[in-house]
Amino acid sequence: MSGQRSPTRSRSIWREADGWSVGIFDQRRMPWAIETLRLTSAEEAADAIRDMATRGAPLIGATAAYGLALALRAGADDAALARAVDLLAATRPTAVNLRWALERVRARVAPLPPAARAAAAYAEADAICEEDEAVNRAIGAHGLPLIRALAAAKAPGEPVNILTHCNPGWLATVAWGTATAPLYLAQDEGLALHVWVDETRPRNQGALTALELADHGVPVSFIADNAGGLYMQRGLVDMVIVGTDRVAANGDVCNKIGTYLKALAARAHGVPFYVALPASTYDPATPSGDGIPIEERSGDELRFVSGPDEAGVMRKVAITAAPARNPAFDVTPAALVTGYITEKGVCAGPEALAAAFGG
């Protein structure tokens, strides 16, 4: 552990002062504590991804890229390279960014002699992070006009009400976030906003979104996952914006469990439903959402909750003894998606998305 770091929007992964180890926020401790971890090996990077100390599709890709650099620092022959890629790729199966980042680093270093591979891997991981920040800022710029248009139809001072799900923010990417980037820019522009933030059980990643947005001055209301439909029904949601862990060639969207239900409610009540994603999350090799592996996590994530008690002491409490099933993701059919907000622009359907990304 490398101590404290400001939670204010910044980069969520960095090289430490020694130039080779990697720092991340320990998101298992958030929002109750802002602590960081220092990663010094591929095994530690893999553990951080698997145990969700770091999470979010773009961020686990960046973490895996640095994990591969850490591995090559210890041993860089072809066998070591293959072992490290396999180790890191096996940590989480759903988000395509993980494999994308590993293959990008492997393609960069494989033609080089072993002595040159570690430095090249670090440089490629650095480049992935630089690009992620720029891409997410561009997603924000393309999503901002959507919010402007909604604001223009409001009475003066009346907020645009936006619903989010999970944590598609800067803590899930290298910087800015995907679905949150337009919100940051809208707030900076002075548009009146209010964001309904789903709790996103069982790991309550919505609490991270609430932390991020409130820190930036955006008014938020933290709500139960099942409350969004009621607010849509009563005309209190103007737009839904979510992130995604993988988008198939036909435009089907795989995202945190519960996203599909939000999309169904949005369609029923005429609320536009947008998905924000970078090119690295688009997977033209998977024809439809049926081919996306859905990660099944431990049922204990459902059966137990953790948090500080009245004295501020962290406790883990059982809420049921029943057997639990815990799929981490679901698939929203492309027909329910109003548009895809990308670094290339807003794509109105899967054909436009494929054209934008050359799929």
CATH code (residue 21): 1.20.120.420
Same-domain status, 106 and 127? yes
- CA dist 320 and 266 (Å) reads 31
Same-domain status, 172 and 290? yes
- Are the C-beta atoms of residues 179 and 206 closer than 8 Å to each other? no
Same-domain status, 78 and 205? no
**Domain count of the fold of the chain:** 2
Q: Check residue 158 and give left, alpha or beta (phi > 0: left; psi -120 to 50: alpha).
A: beta
- Are the C-beta atoms of residues 254 and 288 closer than 8 Å to each other? no
Same-domain status, 122 and 159? no
Range of the domain at 285: 138-357
Same-domain status, 114 and 258? no
Same-domain status, 233 and 268? yes
Residue 5 token pair: 């770091």
Catalytically annotated residues = 245
Same-domain status, 238 and 274? yes
- Of 131, 155, 185, which residue constitutes the final position of a domain? 131
Same-domain status, 108 and 161? no
- CA dist 248 and 269 (Å) reads 26
CB atoms within 10 A of CB 102: 21
The pTM for the full model equals 0.94
Same-domain status, 208 and 320? yes
- Of 99, 131, 163, which residue constitutes the final position of a domain? 131
Domain membership flag for residue 109: yes
Same-domain status, 169 and 267? yes
Domain membership flag for residue 221: yes
- Are the C-beta atoms of residues 72 and 82 closer than 8 Å to each other? no
In one letter, which amino acid is 319?
Answer: I
Domain membership flag for residue 5: no
Domain membership flag for residue 119: yes
Kind of pairing, strands 314-318 and 329-332?
unpaired
- Are the C-beta atoms of residues 199 and 186 closer than 8 Å to each other? no
- Are the C-beta atoms of residues 106 and 68 closer than 8 Å to each other? yes
Same-domain status, 240 and 281? yes
The DSSP 8-state label assigned to residue 334 in this structure reads G
Per-residue pLDDT of the chain (359 residues; tens, 9 = 90+): 333 444 455 799 999 999 999 999 999 989 998 999 999 999 999 999 999 999 999 999 999 999 999 999 999 999 999 999 999 999 999 989 999 999 999 999 999 999 999 999 999 999 999 999 999 999 999 999 999 999 999 999 999 999 999 999 999 999 999 999 999 999 999 999 999 999 999 999 999 999 999 999 999 999 999 999 999 999 999 999 999 999 999 999 999 999 999 999 999 999 999 999 999 999 999 999 999 999 999 999 999 998 898 888 989 999 999 999 999 999 999 999 999 999 999 999 999 999 999 86
- Are the C-beta atoms of residues 87 and 204 closer than 8 Å to each other? no
Domain membership flag for residue 310: yes
Domain membership flag for residue 1: no
Kind of pairing, strands 345-347 and 339-342?
antiparallel
- Of 131, 152, 171, which residue constitutes the final position of a domain? 131
What is the domain-level CATH number for residue 310? 3.40.50.10470
Same-domain status, 108 and 177? no
Which positions ≥6 away from 10 have C-beta within 8 Å?
A: 170, 175
